[in-house]
Amino acid sequence: MMTIHTASLPAHEGRGQDRWAAVTNGLIVLDGASSFTPAVINAERFVDELIADLSQRLPADQESLCVILGRSINAVASKLQLKPGHSPSSTVLILRKSSENIDLLLLGDSTALVKTTYHDEPHRITDTRLAAVAPEYHDKYRSRLRTGSGYDNTHRALLRSLQEEQLAARNTPGGYWIAEADPSAAEHAIVQSFPIDTVEWCILATDGAQRPVDHLGIPWERIAEMTDDQLAEQLQELQEWESRNDPSGALLPRAKVHDDKLIAVWKPCRVTHRQRP
């Protein structure tokens, strides 16, 4: 048994490219991204297909999470006739509950936080490999934003250069790994397990939500206690802060004013046994 509370907020009109799904034994969160080159399909279709396939495999497949993800990437790439380097992509967060463990898989720059009984602070698990690609472009566009340059033509040119470097490094040794058209990327996912009886809660968050939460110093322990409605209100407040307090990205340098935001909170349902008088 488990309880799940979630909320998502697209950056603009439409559904956005963040997705989540709850299954009998876990939780899946995706953060899609459009192809850097002309693609056959858009990112929305890709994440819809990937989360649908993962939602079927996760409860039925006893293999490792890396194997399950690889099979899903292969199935979706085959169905949509995707080609590496010319396809949408997505970060992946998977939580799977077994009788003994909570298993987590991360691929891409989303974040998982796990609160355990044996540690005061939540464990933070993040795949930092994408952020390590072409750091000079990251540093330059963020430095410009801090000085008040805003989202001007130079900023957009820097992002294009960064994206070119990221495309060259995608799913390559020494680069970064992401769900796209190459199923072998799943072999390079970050996987971590926790004894289930030590886990108090888990939070899965896409970077569009995680970064402003951290920047504003909102405790994740507070996030963990929120209902669906409270999470939705929190995401709306983050988006309003970006629009009202930081429309030029000077306080929290980021690629664009708004990004899709998604937070999912997972908790085990503890069974308590009453003693008979």
116 located within any domain? yes
277: pLDDT confidence band, cut at 50, 70 and 90? very low
Residue 253 token pair: 């340098």
152 located within any domain? no
157 located within any domain? no
Q: What is the largest CA-CA distance in the chain?
A: 75
217 located within any domain? yes
Residue 236 is part of a domain; what is its CATH number? 3.60.40.10
Q: What is the mean pLDDT of the chain?
A: 95
8: nearest Cα among 185, 208, 266: 208
Q: Tens digit of pLDDT for each residue in 199-254?
A: 999 999 999 999 999 999 999 999 999 999 999 999 999 999 999 999 999 999 99
Q: How far is CA 196 from CA 55, 103, 268, in A?
A: 21, 9, 8
pLDDT at 273 over 50: no
Q: Do residues 220 and 203 make contact, with C-beta atoms less than 8 angstroms apart?
A: yes
How many residues can be counted in the chain? Answer: 277
39: pLDDT confidence band, cut at 50, 70 and 90? low
Q: Tens digit of pLDDT for each residue in 179-198?
A: 999 999 999 999 999 999 99
DSSP notation for 101-145: EEEEEEESS-EEEEEETT-SSPEEEE--TTTTSSHHHHHHHHHHH
- Whether the predicted model's global pTM rises above the 0.85 cut: yes
DSSP 218: -
Dihedral Cα 184, 188, 190, 191, nearest 10 deg: 60
Q: Tens digit of pLDDT for each residue in 137-160?
A: 999 999 999 999 999 999 999 999
pLDDT at 276 over 60: no
pLDDT at 271 over 60: no
pLDDT at 274 over 50: no
Identity of the residue numbered 36: F
164 located within any domain? no
Q: Looking at the DSSP assignment, which residues form a beta bridge with residue 131?
A: none
Q: Looking at the DSSP assignment, which residues form a beta bridge with residue 75?
A: none
151 located within any domain? no
pLDDT in the model for residue 61: 85
Mean pLDDT confidence for 25-33:
97
Cα–Cα distance, 243 to 257 (Å, whole number)? 7
31 located within any domain? yes
**Residues of the domain holding 30:** 2-131+170-249+256-268
How many structural domains compose the chain? 1
204 located within any domain? yes
